[in-house]
Amino acid sequence: MIVLCALAVAVPAAYAAAGGGAYKPKAVADPCAPRPWKAQGGVSGLAAQLALSATDGAACRLHVSRESLVLALASRADLQAFGRAHDLDDKQIEAAMRDGLQRAVDDASRAHAIGTLPAIILGQAVQRLPLDGLLRALQGTTLNW
Amino acid sequence: MSDRVRRILLLLAVATALADSSVVTLALPDILRQFNVQIGEVARVLTSYNAILALGAIPAAYLARRRPRQVLTTGIVVFGLASAVCGLAGNFDLLLGARCIQAVGGALLITAALELLSITDGEAPAARSWAAAGVAGAAIGPAVGGALTQLAGWEWIFLLQAPVALAALFALRGRTVHPAFRPRGFARHPHLPALSALTLLSAALTAALFLLVLLLVEGWRLEPLAAAVIVSVMPAAAFAAPRLGLRGPVAEAGVGSLLVAGGLLALGLLPGASPWWTVPPQILIGLGLGLAVTALTHAALAGRSPQAIHGGWTIAARHLGVVLGLIVLVPIFQADLDHERNQALQAGTAIVLDANVSPSVKIGVARDVVAVVDAADRRIPDINKAFAHRKMTPALEAVRSGLLDELDRAATHAFSRSFLAAAALALLSLIVVLVGRREIEL
């Protein structure tokens, strides 16, 4: 009887010690923490890294994960649903996306992935593009989810 | 026909009717797909049977007490025919309706069989063999159901039940029953501590008999046959339980409840998605099931008369417990599944975003993965389909295995709180056993 009682306690204890409680989906990275610039070759590789950096920046500003923002960028309807879920209006999302794209341009410039003049031109474009244009900029360059 | 063969046929019918509360568990995913219903709806295939059995057991026992032979014959025929209708059902509503009628037949069959066995074999031996048939049926159900689902289709679970039940009619041929010679026990009121503990323990066992099977098949994508082999550990352990040599119903019921709680706690703390991790907890649960359910059923029947009515109480308590378990555990599981699905989607998105593949491949993989996730419609998606037509490179293989790992983690964690809640129910059963130990010991 004592052996059985001990087993009833020992098995779950062993599972907990083996990391049982922590076996769950991995947490996603903090978008506000800096990530290394690892652009692959070519224009598309650069554009992909720019978009990743931009979504990091926008997600950081909105206090959401980069991944949830990327999933929201699948379509205008998804973005609106995302706004409703996080109590964000279009202006807040637009401002965050401009911030994110500006951060991406700055990151690329710091990593010498783009020159000074292209960085200035891209920075100006980021400040002037309308929301749909920003959306297309992010979707079209990399991840059309 | 010898008495031994008659007894075996009757007990086989009892085990079949009691196995029916869990036998379709491994078939639920197939039923869900065939009739295009949600998890919550398909669970009604289980809840309807268990609820009707719980509600019908006592009235059926009173009927069985008056006319055991006729009630048994009616129960066998109704159960057998309703099983055949379940197997041939062309839509979900018909399946549900037939399951309810099957439960009515089951209630008549189970209680009348106990009454008849008590008359022919004596109360104590009848209670022993009847309780053992009940434990065997409940424990073997998922494994048999899984094997049949894969080898022949879920319909055959029901189609094969019909002849097994109807064969028990042969046990009645040429048999005369003399109700006047029934032995009488000394207590008439139901054994509340034993029945309460039985209800709580059955509610806890719902997690092992239903949710574990869903985890293996839906969560970890095992074939029903493979899942059936894995969950056969539980009945094997349940059959070994009487050899442990524990003496006394309190020791058996108490240690059994503790073993079930420990096993469920371990299932709630699985450190990986391998089916092997479920084996030690299943051994604990199987031993606990064999010890506690048998001991509590004996305690509820011992020295009580009429046997059929007290047997009816144990059936009502057990199946009320199953319904209670489903009512408590399924919503927890569904809420957690939604939450983990979102977590896995984010973790999977991170894997694709950070993958060392070209942007065009990322876009393609992302589109295919989203399509597979959408097609799964709130169920766990088969990510392999998103890679089926792709030429796999090491980088793409890393993405695929990363996504599968996240899915395994999400699926396993989605079941975790339900198993922990079930462990709490088993501990409550232990408390009831300890509080009512004097009455159970009698």
Contact B203/B321 with Cβ under 8 angstroms?
yes
Contact A70 B409 (CB under 8 A): no
In a mutagenesis test of the A interface, which of B346, B370, B380 is the best target, namely the one with the most A β-carbons within 10 Å?
Answer: B346
Q: B372-393, pLDDT tens digit by residue?
A: 877 776 667 788 888 888 888 8
B347 & B332 share domain: no
Between A136 and A73, where is the model more confident? A73
> Considering chain B, what is the average pLDDT of its residues?
85
User: What is the predicted pLDDT for the residue at B86?
Assistant: 93
User: What is the predicted pLDDT for the residue at B177?
Assistant: 59
CA-wise closest residue to B383 among B391, B397, B395: B397
Domain boundaries, chain A: 41-141
User: What is the predicted pLDDT for the residue at B9?
Assistant: 87
Candidates A15, A25, A45; nearest CB to B344? A25
B136 & B75 share domain: yes
Residue B272 located in a structural domain: yes
Q: What percent of chain B is modeled with pLDDT above 70?
A: 95
B371 & B307 share domain: no
Which of the residue ranges A28-32, B373-377, B409-413 has the most confident prediction, judged by mean pLDDT?
B409-413
B366 & B323 share domain: no
- Cα separation, B258 vs B256, whole angstroms: 5
Which of the residue ranges A41-45, B169-173, B195-199, B395-399 has the most confident prediction, judged by mean pLDDT?
B195-199
Q: A71-103, pLDDT tens digit by residue?
A: 887 777 878 888 888 888 888 888 888 888 888
Chain B contact for A56 (CB, 8 A cutoff) = no
Q: What is the dihedral of CA B233, B236, B242, B244, to 10 degrees?
A: -50
Residue B49 located in a structural domain: yes
Min Cα distance A30 → chain B (Å) is 11
- Output the pTM of the full model: 0.81
Q: How many CB pairs under 8 A join A and B?
A: 126
Between A128 and B37, where is the model more confident? B37
pLDDT at A145 over 50: no
Contacts of A77 (CB under 8 A, 6+ apart): none
Chain B positions in Cβ-Cβ contact with residue A27 (cut-off 8 Å): 347
B355 & B307 share domain: no
Q: Which of A44-53, B315-324, B341-350 has the weakest average pLDDT?
A: A44-53
What angle is formed at CA A103 by the lines to CA A102 and CA A105, rounded to 5 degrees? 65
B399 & B268 share domain: no
B237 & B366 share domain: no
Number of separate domains in chain B: 2
B380 & B261 share domain: no
Contacts of B432 (CB under 8 A, 6+ apart): B193, B196, B197, B200
Chain B contact for A81 (CB, 8 A cutoff) = no
Between B95 and A120, where is the model more confident? B95
Q: Which residues pair with B187 in a beta bridge?
A: B304
- Cα separation, A52 vs A47, whole angstroms: 9
Q: How far apart are the first and last CA of chain B?
A: 37
User: What is the predicted pLDDT for the residue at A142?
Assistant: 45
Chain B contact for A85 (CB, 8 A cutoff) = no
Residue with tokens 């979707």: A139
Contact B266 A15 (CB under 8 A): yes
User: What is the predicted pLDDT for the residue at A72?
Assistant: 81
- Cα separation, B232 vs B245, whole angstroms: 22
- Cα separation, B108 vs B76, whole angstroms: 8
CA-wise closest residue to B329 among B257, B424, B234, B412: B424
B38 & B86 share domain: yes
Chain B contact for A26 (CB, 8 A cutoff) = yes
B252 & B359 share domain: no
Considering only residues 16 to 55 of chain B, which have any Cβ-Cβ distance to chain A shorter than 8 Å?
A: none
Residue B105 located in a structural domain: yes
Residue B183 located in a structural domain: no
Chain A contact for B412 (CB, 8 A cutoff) = yes
Chain B positions in Cβ-Cβ contact with residue A145 (cut-off 8 Å): 366-367, 370
Q: Which of B163-167, B174-178, B306-310 has the weakest average pLDDT?
A: B174-178
Considering only residues 261 to 280 of chain B, which have any Cβ-Cβ distance to chain A shorter than 8 Å?
A: 261-263, 265-266, 268-273, 277, 280
Q: ipTM, 2 decimals?
A: 0.81
Task: Provide the CATH number for the domain around residue B226.
Answer: 1.20.1250.20
Contact A20 B270 (CB under 8 A): yes
pLDDT band at B356 (very low <50, low <70, confident <90, very high): confident
Q: What is the DSSP string of B12-41?
A: HHHHHHHHTTTTTGGGHHHHHHHHT--HHH
- Which residue range(s) make up the domain with B397? 337-413
Q: B28-49, pLDDT tens digit by residue?
A: 878 888 888 877 788 888 888 9
Q: B76-112, pLDDT tens digit by residue?
A: 999 999 999 999 998 999 999 999 999 999 999 998 8
